[in-house]
A and B are shown apart, each in its own frame.
Chain A
Amino acid sequence: MATGPEPSLRLTLEEFAAFLADVRRLGFTLLGPTLVQGDFVHREIAGVADLPRGVGMVQEAGTFRLVPRGDEALFGYPVGQPSWKPVFFPPERLLWTGRRTGRGWEIRLPPEDREPVALLGVRPCDLAALEVLDRIFLHGPYVDPYYQAQRNTALVVAVNCTVPGGTCFCASLGTGPRAAAGFDVALTEMLTGDGHWFLAEAGSDRGRRLLSELPGRPARPEEEAAASQALAQAAGHMGRSLKTAGLKEDLYARYEHRHWAEVAARCLTCGNCAMVCPTCFCHLVEDSLNLTGDRAERRRIQDVCFTVAHSYIHGGSVRSTPRARYRQWLTHKLATWQDQFGCLDCVGCGRCITWCPVGIDLTAEVTALRVPETPGPAGPEERHDQAGASAG
């Protein structure tokens, strides 16, 4: 929704605190970033005091550290390990319980006890991720009622990124560092000579109403310009980049590239990349039975394409080698997803790079895969692949 010429609001820190109080007064459970025992997590927060103050992040492939910034910034970092995916797509969800009766099974759906949530500090890359999930769970042929209910009521307060991280590459995907759509309110935090303030813009009627009740004054043109400049600067300081032009075609042409085997020598197939990805939504459905055999449960559990069982069909696993599994993950995200859902399954948040225990770097692997190779004999992993396929 375009906001048109509507001016942004300039909020002081106190006015920002009042805004959060308003959100909670409206009945939303306010979820936001906070520190728990030295971990950066998303939890229910009461207000500004719970936000991580003066905290920065150092991120590289396979490494993450929280560091003091030496200032009072509340959002002076890009994204940590948690994304907003679990709010809408919980890692484990009870689908139904069954009770054996004299005549068969009585199926019961679990009670609907969710409450509307307000997400504070959704970064532009994570807004893009929610848009990807919306395509699948809201606008696809199979609507997920849980996702739908939670998503339709959720209030989204975005925070633009003035401090990108070492593994960020949203600028090259056009998903950040400034939020374009998909939010109720978007904030840009500014620490300038004239203090600590926020530029707030509405992205929905609900957001507009919320802002209209606040005492903040319209931002001056020079304040808007300062925020724009900070965001433009951030775009120039991304730690990574990914060239999207021709990406699908390049990957389709590189199915037998030798670099897949090189990655497979490092890939642990632990599944961390897919677990922390804000858009990967693979899951398995698990049935369980109690000892007496008269109560059953069916659960949906977050899963990854890195397990052997994930591609199990009659007779065995289709992707028995780590090489085949990593190739599946990467080409699905960046190539086949485009054919399937009409977009990339990557938003440039860099989580898969930071949180890979051995620092496998999606952007670097793609770069290596794009180097054309001269035909040669298959590597050891490839031969193993073929042996696995014939044995399966």
Chain B
Amino acid sequence: MPKKKPTLAVWKFTSCDGCQLSLLYLEDELLELADCLDIAYFPEASRRLLPGPYDISLVEGSVSLPEHLEQVRRVRRRSRVLIAFGTCATSGGIQALRNFTAVEDYARLVYERPELIPVLAESTPISQHVPVDLELQGCPPHRGQVVAAVAAFLHGAPPPRTPASVCLECKRSGHICVLVSRGLPCLGPVTQAGCGALCPGWHRPCYGCFGPKETPKTSSLARWFTERLGAREAELVRAFRLFYANAPAFRLESQAHEEPPRQG
């Protein structure tokens, strides 16, 4: 009798669903994935929803609603391995822009009766609420990273990690540096690799959608943008306050360039 296949669950919190879609875009590997794993819970892909516990849970999205606080604990309890994947799950996502202001201000702009929309004051990463076995950064993470991580967990190999800068991938690809040769404000030197240096390969500066790399020296890069590229403070705030606005390194850097609150 064949061995029972390990089970996979895919969960969604507050997010755009892009990470889940990137799973469906796996195309070449999708059938292989279904061969190796019992896709037990993936509402975006199938109506067949099996009860847990699950061997591997992929979690997309940030914790931003009151009911998420309990849901995320339930997911953790029912998962042997929990992988937080994507910008929202690993930092709070673009919706964490609310963390820099009062969320009611946004709600009032969007909804007629904002009091009917109960939201948490902050959008936060999964790891802030439960222990996470692996974080895959990226908006969305590269499909190869997801497959490699699942393969590693299936076969007991160490999961692949790419905590170093985008610059390494950029130089390996033979792209010419857009910051040095074109004066574009590229966040590659402080951003984690994994995308394959997608934007610089098309002469666009990296805008940090894979989040801070290990030991990111954002202050030095920001100083260079100011002194050499003539960036204004407001531009620096916007540069660091985007996809990974709530990641500590980028959050502190954007706050450092904010105007101090007015007196009185």
- What B residues does A265 contact at CB under 8 A? 217, 219-220
From residue B156, how far is it (CB to closest CB) to chain A in Å? 9
User: Are B181 and A291 in contact, CB atoms less than 8 angstroms apart?
Assistant: no
Contact B36 A292 (CB under 8 A): yes
Interface membership of A276, Cβ < 8 A: yes
Nearest-neighbor residue (CB-CB) of A90 within chain B: B172
Stretch from B119-127, B129-137, B157-165 contacting the other chain: B157-165
A271 adjacent to chain B (CB < 8 Å): yes
A81 contacts B29, C-beta separation under 8 Å: no
Is B180 a contact partner of A63 (Cβ separation < 8 A)? yes
Residues of chain B within 8 A of A269, CB atoms compared: 165, 214-215, 217
- Known: A290-B32, A308-B214. Contact between A62 and B151, CB under 8 A? no
Give the CA-CA distance A37 to B188 in the complex, in Å. 21
Interface presence of A366 (CB below 8 A): no
Main SS at interface, chain B: helix
A185 to B221 Cα, complex, angstroms: 43
Query: Do A268 and B171 contact each other (CB < 8 Å), given the known contacts A288-B160, A291-B147?
Result: no
Question: Are the C-beta atoms of A308 and B163 separated by less than 8 Å?
Answer: yes
Q: Tell me, yes or no, whether A287 is within 8 Å of chain B by CB.
A: yes
B147 proximity list for chain A (CB < 8 A): 291
> A269 CA to B163 CA in the complex, in Å?
12
Within the complex, which residue of A62, A266, A292, A303 is in contact with B32, where a contact is CB–CB below 8 Å? A292
| A91, B171: Cβ atoms closer than 8 Å | yes
Contact A267 B220, beta carbon cutoff 8 Å: yes
Check: B100 CB closer than 8 A to any chain A CB: no
Is A309 located at the chain interface by the 8 A CB criterion? yes
Residue on B nearest A266 in the bound complex, by CB? B220
| Contact assessment for A270 and B151 in the assembled complex, using a CB-CB cutoff below 8 Å | no
Most A Cβ at <10 Å: residue of B32, B176, B180: B180
Apart from A265-B217, A304-B168, A358-B223, 14 more pairs, CB < 8 Å? A62-B224, A65-B181, A92-B172, A266-B217, A267-B220, A270-B190, A276-B171, A288-B148, A289-B157, A291-B32, A291-B36, A307-B214, A308-B163, A359-B224
20 A-B residue pairs with CB within 8 Å: A62-B224, A65-B181, A81-B176, A91-B171, A269-B214, A269-B215, A269-B217, A275-B167, A275-B171, A275-B172, A288-B160, A291-B154, A292-B35, A292-B36, A293-B154, A302-B171, A303-B168, A355-B177, A356-B180, A357-B177
A interface list, Cβ under 8 A from B: 37-41, 62-66, 80-82, 86, 91-92, 265-272, 275-276, 286-293, 301-304, 306-309, 321-322, 354-359
Binding site for A on B (CB under 8 A): 29, 32-33, 35-36, 147-148, 150-152, 154-155, 157, 160-161, 163-165, 167-168, 171-177, 179-181, 183, 186, 188-190, 203, 213-217, 219-221, 223-224, 228
